[in-house]
């Protein structure tokens, strides 16, 4: 009797594995995204850079990635503030997807503006809500004089959910009595971090499917119909100014829902259009080295004009 039960169980497991491999394998893939290959799970922000880590990342081109002691793809900064500081927030464009560190716009800008110290807090995949939380977390340590949000139009969609592509989980806000409130103060691990932590079991499609189903049941993906993108941008502006820093937005591409010029003028918000044709053809069409050079030139002229005024 016991042998029969064991045989039936084994047969069911093998059949389930076969069915999943044949028909559902593309639904339970192991991600090769940087979020699980060179980043780490972060219960506050969803994912973050691993402090003092070194890796390579291969997409349109193969690049080297080194994180400083704060977990950012940036140089190591002194704790002593001896000059004014500029801080950039953003996603993969700011992080420097497909380019080496010294090809990135902020490092090129640093060479032109040696009287300033420039910090880059870009994290690939981040949306505006994560960037707000990140600024609040690190502002006192960095003490910037100028804060810039490099905004990507796909942030609008990501701001409305607790999950992004391949269901990487993230914090998100809702609005209560006209005030932004953090919906989830602790982010859960998505299946990709469980897969990464169990390399042997993750070879099984059945294991991956069970993990995915369990996470969805315990902590379902939530979609917020209320679009809070404008509120989040203004929250970053208010937080920066309340703490003594000026603020401006750089737009990677036009966001027709936002209507940048009208929105920024109505809210006394300096902005710059960073759209340019120098992009890679695949993997999100990120800026090429020429694109980063173009962006650094535009930021240089914008900042000089803005600072003079």
Which of 257 and 198 is assigned the larger pLDDT? 198
Burial string for 169-205 (b: 16+ CB within 10 Å, else e) reads bbbbbeeeeeebeeebeebebbbbbbbbeeeeebebb
26 in a structural domain: no
pLDDT on residue 32 = 84
99 in a structural domain: yes
Query: Has residue 272 got a pLDDT over 60?
Result: yes
Cα separation, 260 vs 234, in Å, equals 13
For the chain, what is the mean pLDDT? 93
256 in a structural domain: yes
7 in a structural domain: no
What does the pLDDT look like over 104-155, one tens digit per residue? 999 999 999 999 999 999 999 999 999 999 999 999 999 999 999 999 999 9
- Report the percent of the chain where pLDDT is more than 90: 77
- Report the percent of the chain where pLDDT is more than 70: 99
CB 104 within 8 A of CB 293: no
Name the residue among 240, 253, 308, 300 with its Cα closest to residue 107.
300
What does the pLDDT look like over 169-222, one tens digit per residue? 999 999 988 899 998 779 999 999 999 988 889 999 999 999 999 999 989 999
pLDDT on residue 146 = 98
Query: Has residue 225 got a pLDDT over 90?
Result: no
pLDDT on residue 308 = 61
6 in a structural domain: no
- Residue position matching structure tokens 């490092």: 107
Range of the structural domain that residue 107 is part of = 31-308
Q: Which pairing describes strands 146-151 and 84-89: parallel, antiparallel, or unpaired?
A: parallel
21 in a structural domain: no
13 in a structural domain: no
265 in a structural domain: yes
What does the pLDDT look like over 15-28, one tens digit per residue? 887 888 888 788 88
Q: What is the dihedral of CA 86, 92, 95, 100, to 10 degrees?
A: -140
User: Has this prediction a pTM greater than 0.85?
Assistant: yes
> Considering its fold, how many domains does the chain have in total?
1
CATH of the domain at 304: 3.40.50.1110
């Amino acid at each position: 009797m016991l042998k029969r039960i064991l045989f039936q169980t084994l047969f069911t497991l093998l059949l389930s594995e076969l069915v999943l491999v044949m028909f559902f394998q593309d639904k339970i893939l192991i991600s090769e995204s940087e979020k699980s290959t060179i980043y780490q799970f972060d219960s506050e922000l969803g994912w973050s850079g691993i402090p003092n880590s070194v890796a390579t990342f291969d997409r349109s081109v193969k690049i080297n990635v080194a994180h400083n002691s704060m977990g950012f793809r940036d140089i190591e900064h002194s704790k002593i503030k001896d000059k004014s500081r500029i801080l950039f927030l953003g996603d993969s464009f700011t992080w420097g997807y497909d380019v080496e560190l010294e090809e990135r716009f902020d490092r090129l800008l640093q060479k032109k503006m040696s009287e300033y110290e420039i910090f880059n807090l870009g994290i690939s995949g981040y949306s505006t809500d994560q960037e707000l939380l990140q600024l609040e977390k690190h502002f006192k340590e960095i003490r910037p004089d100028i804060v810039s949000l490099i905004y990507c139009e796909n942030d609008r969609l990501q701001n409305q959910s607790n999950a992004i592509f391949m269901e990487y989980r993230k914090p998100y806000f809702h609005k209560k009595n006209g005030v932004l409130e953090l919906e989830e103060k602790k982010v859960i691990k998505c299946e990709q971090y469980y897969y990464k932590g169990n390399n042997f079991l993750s070879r099984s499609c059945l294991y991956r499917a069970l993990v995915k189903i369990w996470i969805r049941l315990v902590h379902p993906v939530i979609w917020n119909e209320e679009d809070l993108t404008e509120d989040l941008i203004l929250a970053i502006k208010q937080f920066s100014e309340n703490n003594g820093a000026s603020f401006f937005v750089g737009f990677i591409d036009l966001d027709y829902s936002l209507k940048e010029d009208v929105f920024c003028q109505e809210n006394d918000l300096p902005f710059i259009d960073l759209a340019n044709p120098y992009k890679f053809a695949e993997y999100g069409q990120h800026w090429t080295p020429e694109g980063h050079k173009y962006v650094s030139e535009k930021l240089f002229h914008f900042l000089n004009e803005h600072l003079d005024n």
